[in-house]
Homo-oligomer: A and B are copies of this chain.
Amino acid sequence: MACASKYSFHDDYSEGAHPAVLEALSRANHSQQNGYGNDEHCKEARKAIHKLIGSDTAHIYFVPSGTSANLLSIASHLRPHEAVIAAEPAHIVGKEGGAIEATGHKILISPGINGKLTPEHIQSAFGRNTQFAYQPKPKMVFIANATELGTVYTAQELEPIAAICKHLGLLLLMDGARLGAAMASSKNDLSLKDFYRLTDIFWIGGTKNGALLGEAVVIKDPIFGAEFPYHMKQRGMLLAKSRVLGIQFGTLFKDDLFFQIAKTSVEKASKLAVELVGMGFELWKPVESNQVFVIFPEELVWELEKQFDFFVWEHLDDGHKVVRLVTSWATLDSKVEELLALVRGGP
Contact = CB atoms under 8 A, between A and B. Distances in A.
10 contacts: A14-B34, A17-B29, A65-B237, A79-B227, A94-B129, A94-B132, A99-B236, A104-B104, A134-B238, A207-B241
Contacts of A132: 94-95
A110 interface: no
Interface residues of A, number: 87
B237 A97 contact: no
B14 A35 contact: yes
Contacts of A47: none
Contact of A136 (B103, B234, B309): B234
A95 B236 contact: no
A102 interface: yes
Contact of A29 (B11, B13, B19, B133): B19
A7 interface: yes
- SS class of chain A's interface: helix, strand, loop or mixed? loop
Given A15-B31, A132-B95, A67 B230 contact: no
B80 A240 contact: no
B67 A83 contact: no
B67 A238 contact: yes
Contacts of A1: 27-28, 31, 40-41
A65 B240 contact: yes
A75 B101 CA distance: 13
A43 to B, nearest CB: 10
Interface of A: 1-4, 7-8, 10-11, 13-17, 19, 22, 25-36, 40-41, 63-72, 75-76, 79-81, 83, 94-99, 101-106, 109, 128-129, 132-137, 207-208, 212-213, 227, 229-231, 233-241, 243-244, 309, 330
